[in-house]
A = this chain, B = another copy of it.
Amino acid sequence: MSDLLERLRARGWRMTSQRRVVAQVLDGDHTHLTADEVHARSARLLPEISRATVYNTLGELVSLGEVIEVSTDGRAKRYDPNAHHPHQHLVCASCGMIRDVHPTGDPLADLPAQERFGFTVSEAEVTYRGLCPACA
């Protein structure tokens, strides 16, 4: 993640203080922040940063593949900086907490051709739901 700024620069993107701050916030915390939380934390470092800029930057990071967008509950999307290690998510149905998990097996292999209906299937996302120790 620390060389993210280099990768952005290599793509011809301008290196602004706002982008640096957003990258720093994501880099320092792996708790799947919402866009609004990213904005709040960024604003501590750079008070005048705007919501639009945070949304733009997050969108850029997602399309660059540096960050994964997770929407587990139909509410706010969350941003997962752990994009370089494939993993799935375990979500607490009560408090919404998310943990990264690494199941065995490949769900893509479980979808036979006749169940693909002509789709070009590229990805399988597994969300485990349950209660975390604190909520159980």
* A positions within 8 Å CB-CB of B: 69, 71-74, 76-77, 90, 92-93, 99, 101-105, 107-112, 115-133, 136
Contacts and interface: CB of A to CB of B under 8 A. Distances in A.
29 contacts: A74-B74, A74-B76, A90-B121, A99-B117, A99-B119, A101-B115, A101-B116, A103-B107, A103-B110, A103-B111, A105-B105, A105-B107, A107-B107, A108-B128, A117-B133, A118-B133, A119-B128, A119-B136, A121-B128, A121-B129, A122-B129, A123-B128, A124-B126, A124-B127, A125-B126, A125-B128, A125-B129, A126-B126, A126-B127
A42 to B, nearest CB: 20
Given A71-B74, A124-B126, A119 B131 contact: yes
